[in-house]
Chain A
Amino acid sequence: MKKYDAIVIGAGHNGIANGAFLAKAGLNVLMVEKNDWIGGATVSRNLHEDWIYSNCSYVCSLLRPEVYRALDLAKYGLQVVPYGGSVTISQNGDYYASYVDGDASRREMMRHSHRDADAEHRFERDIMRQCRFIRQFLLRTAPDPASFKPRDLMELLHIGRKFWDLGEETIYDTMRFYTMSIAEFLDEYFESDLIKASHAGSGIIGSAMGVMSPGTAYVLLHHAMGDVDGTAGAWGFARGGMGAIAKAMHLCFEDHGGTTVSGSGVEQILVKNGKVTGVALENGDEYEADIVVSNMTLPRTFLECMDPKDLRPEFLEKCRNFKIRGSSGKINVALEGVPQFTALKGNTEIMRSDMHLIDSIERLERAYDDWKDGIWSRDPYIDMLIPSLTDPTMAPPGKHFMSLFIQYVPPKVRGKDWTDEDRDAFRDTVFNQIEEYAPGFKNLVAHAEVRTPRELENEVGLTEGNIFQGELTMDQLLFNRPIPGYAQYRGPVKGLWMCGSSNHPGGGVMAAPGANAAREILMDLKKPNTVPEGWADD
């Protein structure tokens, strides 16, 4: 049997980035993917005629520009095209739009609240201060605060120094940011319900928390800390869908000699004498390596793909306690034309941006109440985009791909597994809501891919359907992600590594966990580093 230098389990974008950096350093790497397509939650698939869907993730901002460059993703065909703004449509037939043009945006805010238009500066300043702080640590390994290794002490000191650099008020704010709810936070700036609602969405995306739950202010930061071409907080479309990112990384991986086997998942990570020796696949194939890197979620890796006898009970207990609650659904729709939103009154330009159908913090909180009751929100929060208005490769001319990201969708329906009937009813809830705002919408639907947490777990491997491979709450961030003592990508068994979003700095199409893990592996192997570190100031 052929022995590899390293085996990466899972061809999610973090697994591929990890494999590509290792291959670049000269390692002979095998990547094992359970699906017969690659990308995990960073994927584009053709499921209906000439339409391409971004099946899971749909917009790009967090992808570290340093990784983009180091892996030469432009050369391998990746293009990220920025889009601007957002629009929040209210039930009373009005809307609030945010435009790329600063003056137009300010005036639009003035239409709703003169004061909010000005407060927006303060808000953006405070968000940017926090983002600039966090961004420094994305492409760095978190220190272990309980370790006395010089390296950890130095890194703690580094963080401390950056923290003091923030200046008095921002230091106070930082603590508040990590503990406050997005609703409370927005109250400190804005008075218009509609404006608050439009900002609040970023605080709950992918989280099993409500806008009034402590910790959601951070989730907003997590969505604001990215950039496109140095424009902080900007979002863009990957041309060809998000799968273009995974595809470009994978071409780089192959170009550096990496091998991929797909179509059968790892059943077990093999361990002998406290060391990993390789993996066994569901189809019976086995592969050997001294290094095994898991791109899977924390629970999937340790609770499903390992023999518990190979692990310490305390560690397993922590894996079981890892907060990874599903809260989101995704519907990808093939449309025969552009839906007409009554309230937009022909403002078609703004439809190229993020669209939301929400009025208030109150309505968002009610949507969360349903999740707690174990059902999908009857009046859900939808992050709605029509990428094909920008990207001509997603649908035939005149036809469109609509991406619907939905909060909240529970991992189980009132404690029972999802059924196909539940799934269809969930789809109807979402479509009915859109139809209210855009009469005739349903007639435009040619095909729809409906993904509840059940599909996200079964198809993509995201435990409970949590899109970030684990909640982004203070107790699970930085040196506590995924669990204290294991934040440096090293697993509890020699040779076992973790590179998925369950690890620092968390979920989103960022490629940082994959890159950071590769840097650590190469350091342990005493190989020259191929992985960028740090950040470029905005």
Chain B
Amino acid sequence: MKTFNIDSPMHHKTKVFPSPFHSRQAEWNENKEWSRWYDYLSVPSYTDETMEYFAGRNTCGVFDITPMTKHLITGPDALPFMNRLVTRDVSKLKPGRVGYSVWCDDRGQVIDDGTIFHLQQGQYRLCSQEHQIDWLMINAHGFDVSIVEDTHDVAGLALQGPTSCAVLRKMNLPGIENLTPFGMASFDFEGTQLMISRTGFTGDLGYELWIDPDHAEVLWDRLFAAGELHGIRPMGSDALEMLRIEAGFIMAGADFAPALHTVRSKNTRSPFELGLDWLVDFKKPVFNGRQALLKEQQQGSRYALVKLDIEDNKAAEHSYVYDTRERNIGWVTSAMWSPSAKKNIALATVKRPHGKVDERMLVEIYYQRELAWSRKMAQAVVVEQPFWDPPRRRQTPPADW
């Protein structure tokens, strides 16, 4: 059910709206704790974040992604518009395919990252972390496109984990097993269309399911019925956070400050500084930030975003990073003990020329045991590959667990 309504000026009385899945989330939410994700109530953890995390890595977990900002971009100029907006070449994205990208301001600083769904010829959906409508409209001048934010018209669930395909098969979605990574397909479902993309934020086998809010509850019910024997369980945002760090995915507001919100202009980052070189396609003659990024490519970047493998087991949250001579070179942006890699891992921002693969660094970790604080200078090494990247993530058709 669509639960978002701001037509009444009294909307402020609630501050936050229930998600279209709320009735089901509430049943499962044993902790009775809710957090806010923009307009919607979100669940940090239903029962236990570690158990929920392991559902994502061992069976499958369901996470409500309705609050994610969504835009529908249509019209004859939809492709040229998208191509000017983002850094990668959208013309290579065929209908029915999804691509990850970032978009920059004129200074080549990242405004946000997100996924582009090529729904059909001349129609794209852009999912982003932050609200973008103002920036999209600024960019739309001179293009024959229509842009609407339709966040509240689309309910979404992420179904992530090794048994996720098996669950979908049980739901009788013909050919679902043939969906390749970053592919999408639509299915008739309870009198409406269910769109499924093989995408996610966990670095594992997984899908995202998109449906109109009026069918949100029935989708949830059918999914959980189908998943009963496949270890399905709802997952909160705490578990998702663990999954995405392990996968080495960056997050706006955690690993970089979105350029349009950043008051201290030095604190923004370019795609190169976030390790996203592969997303910048200079073969495109024009796109936002191109000139600045070309210059940066020639003259060098200020920062590097690195994956760190850190000794010992104390999570390096909010730590400073030093070179081996104990000179401060940066800080950790996300960190955790990785239960799947069995490693102490972190994403960190360091000043160039630091940040080369295999480079040794020190991480200053403060940790508390029985209220007493200790400090440790832990050895760390820069690694290239994500901490978790199993072959099943790409395997098509996926194993039928």
Chain B minimum-CB-distance residue to A106:
B131
Residues of B within 8 A of A132 (CB): 263-264
Q: Does B12 contact A (CB under 8 A)?
A: yes
Interface size class for chain B?
20 to 34
Complex CA gap A487/B351 in Å reads 42
Among the 9-residue stretches A60-68, A165-173, A390-398, A478-486, the one with 4 or more Cβ atoms under 8 Å from chain B is A165-173
Q: Does A234 contact B (CB under 8 A)?
A: no
Q: Does A121 contact B (CB under 8 A)?
A: yes
Contact of A115 among B6, B134, B260 (CB under 8 A): B134
Q: Are A125's CB and B260's CB within 8 A?
A: yes
Residues of B within 8 A of A169 (CB): 107, 265
Q: Are A104's CB and B261's CB within 8 A?
A: no
Chain B minimum-CB-distance residue to A120:
B134
Q: Are B263's CB and A125's CB within 8 A?
A: yes
Q: Does B133 contact A (CB under 8 A)?
A: yes
| Residues of A92-107 contacting chain B, CB below 8 A | 94-95, 97, 99, 101, 103-104, 106-107
Q: Does B132 contact A (CB under 8 A)?
A: yes
Q: Does B15 contact A (CB under 8 A)?
A: yes
Q: Are A117's CB and B9's CB within 8 A?
A: no
Q: A129-B265, A166-B265, A167-B265 are in contact. Are A101 and B12 (CB under 8 A)?
A: yes
Q: Does B217 contact A (CB under 8 A)?
A: no
Q: Does B266 contact A (CB under 8 A)?
A: yes
Q: Does A111 contact B (CB under 8 A)?
A: yes
Q: Are B11's CB and A108's CB within 8 A?
A: yes
Q: A103-B15, A108-B11, A347-B9 are in contact. Are A114 and B133 (CB under 8 A)?
A: yes
Contact of B263 among A101, A107, A114, A128 (CB under 8 A): A128
Q: Are A111's CB and B132's CB within 8 A?
A: no
Interface size class for chain A?
20 to 34
Contact of A118 among B134, B263, B266 (CB under 8 A): B134
Q: Does A122 contact B (CB under 8 A)?
A: yes
Q: Does B220 contact A (CB under 8 A)?
A: no
Residues of B within 8 A of A166 (CB): 265
Q: Are A347's CB and B132's CB within 8 A?
A: no
Contact of A99 among B12, B265, B266 (CB under 8 A): B12
Q: Are B12's CB and A122's CB within 8 A?
A: no
Q: A97-B12, A114-B149, A167-B266 are in contact. Are A103 and B38 (CB under 8 A)?
A: yes
| Residues of B1-60 contacting chain A, CB below 8 A | 6-7, 9-12, 15-16, 36, 38-39
Residues of B within 8 A of A129 (CB): 263, 265
Q: Are A103's CB and B9's CB within 8 A?
A: no
Complex CA gap A349/B15 in Å reads 13
Q: Are B15's CB and A101's CB within 8 A?
A: yes
Residues of A within 8 A of B16 (CB): 103
Complex CA gap A169/B11 in Å reads 37
CB distance from B14 to the nearest CB of A (A): 9
Residues of B within 8 A of A125 (CB): 260-263
Q: Are B39's CB and A103's CB within 8 A?
A: yes
Q: Does B135 contact A (CB under 8 A)?
A: yes
Complex CA gap A311/B265 in Å reads 48
Chain A minimum-CB-distance residue to B10:
A347
Residues of A within 8 A of B132 (CB): 118
Complex CA gap A128/B15 in Å reads 25
Q: Does A110 contact B (CB under 8 A)?
A: yes
Binary contact track A214-229/B, C-beta < 8 Å → 1, others 0: 0000000000000000
| Residues of A118-154 contacting chain B, CB below 8 A | 118-119, 121-122, 125, 128-129, 132
Binary contact track B259-283/A, C-beta < 8 Å → 1, others 0: 0111111100000000000000000
Q: Are B135's CB and A118's CB within 8 A?
A: yes
Q: Are A108's CB and B12's CB within 8 A?
A: yes
Residues of A within 8 A of B10 (CB): 345, 347
Residues of B within 8 A of A108 (CB): 6, 9, 11-12
CB distance from B40 to the nearest CB of A (A): 10
Contact of A168 among B7, B39, B107, B260 (CB under 8 A): B107
Scoring A95, A119, A345 by chain B CB atoms within 10 A of each residue's CB, the highest score goes to A119
Complex CA gap A112/B54 in Å reads 44
Q: Are B11's CB and A111's CB within 8 A?
A: yes
CB distance from B78 to the nearest CB of A (A): 19
Q: A94-B9, A104-B11 are in contact. Are A121 and B261 (CB under 8 A)?
A: yes
Residues of A within 8 A of B262 (CB): 125
CB distance from B128 to the nearest CB of A (A): 11
Chain A minimum-CB-distance residue to B14:
A104
CB distance from B140 to the nearest CB of A (A): 11
Scoring B38, B107, B264 by chain A CB atoms within 10 A of each residue's CB, the highest score goes to B264
Scoring A94, A125, A168, A349 by chain B CB atoms within 10 A of each residue's CB, the highest score goes to A125
CB distance from A132 to the nearest CB of B (A): 7
Complex CA gap A116/B132 in Å reads 11
Residues of B within 8 A of A94 (CB): 9
Complex CA gap A456/B18 in Å reads 52
Complex CA gap A20/B131 in Å reads 49
| Residues of B111-161 contacting chain A, CB below 8 A | 131-135, 137, 149
Residues of B within 8 A of A103 (CB): 15-16, 36, 38-39
CB distance from B302 to the nearest CB of A (A): 13
Complex CA gap A350/B13 in Å reads 11
| Residues of A151-205 contacting chain B, CB below 8 A | 166-170
Contact of A107 among B6, B135, B264 (CB under 8 A): B6
Complex CA gap A146/B107 in Å reads 36
Chain A minimum-CB-distance residue to B259:
A125
Q: A104-B11, A108-B11, A128-B263 are in contact. Are A121 and B131 (CB under 8 A)?
A: yes
| Residues of B181-206 contacting chain A, CB below 8 A | none
Residues of A within 8 A of B263 (CB): 125, 128-129, 132
| Residues of A312-371 contacting chain B, CB below 8 A | 345, 347, 349-350
Residues of B within 8 A of A345 (CB): 9-10
Complex CA gap A115/B10 in Å reads 20
Complex CA gap A231/B146 in Å reads 38
Q: Are B9's CB and A118's CB within 8 A?
A: no
Q: Are B11's CB and A117's CB within 8 A?
A: no
Complex CA gap A129/B247 in Å reads 35
Residues of A within 8 A of B149 (CB): 114
CB distance from B98 to the nearest CB of A (A): 24
CB distance from B288 to the nearest CB of A (A): 14
Residues of A within 8 A of B7 (CB): 111
Binary contact track B73-96/A, C-beta < 8 Å → 1, others 0: 000000000000000000000000
Complex CA gap A122/B134 in Å reads 9
CB distance from B245 to the nearest CB of A (A): 26
Q: Are A122's CB and B9's CB within 8 A?
A: no
Chain B minimum-CB-distance residue to A346:
B10
CB distance from A277 to the nearest CB of B (A): 50
| Residues of A514-537 contacting chain B, CB below 8 A | none
Complex CA gap A101/B38 in Å reads 11
Complex CA gap A25/B332 in Å reads 46
Complex CA gap A104/B17 in Å reads 11
Contact of B15 among A104, A116, A118 (CB under 8 A): A104
Residues of A within 8 A of B260 (CB): 121-122, 125
Residues of B within 8 A of A111 (CB): 6-7, 9, 11
Chain A minimum-CB-distance residue to B106:
A169
Q: Are B134's CB and A110's CB within 8 A?
A: no
Complex CA gap A167/B105 in Å reads 14
Chain A minimum-CB-distance residue to B132:
A118
Complex CA gap A101/B15 in Å reads 8
Complex CA gap A129/B261 in Å reads 11
Inter-chain pairs besides A111-B6, A125-B263, 4 sampled, C-beta below 8 Å: A101-B12, A107-B12, A111-B7, A132-B264
Residues on B facing A (Cβ under 8 Å): 6-7, 9-12, 15-16, 36, 38-39, 107, 131-135, 137, 149, 260-266
Closest 9 CB pairs of A and B: A167-B265, A118-B134, A119-B134, A104-B12, A118-B131, A128-B263, A107-B6, A118-B133, A115-B134
Q: 20 A-B Cβ contacts within 8 A?
A: A95-B9, A99-B12, A103-B16, A103-B36, A104-B12, A107-B6, A107-B11, A107-B39, A108-B11, A111-B6, A111-B7, A117-B131, A119-B134, A121-B260, A122-B260, A125-B260, A125-B262, A168-B107, A347-B9, A347-B12
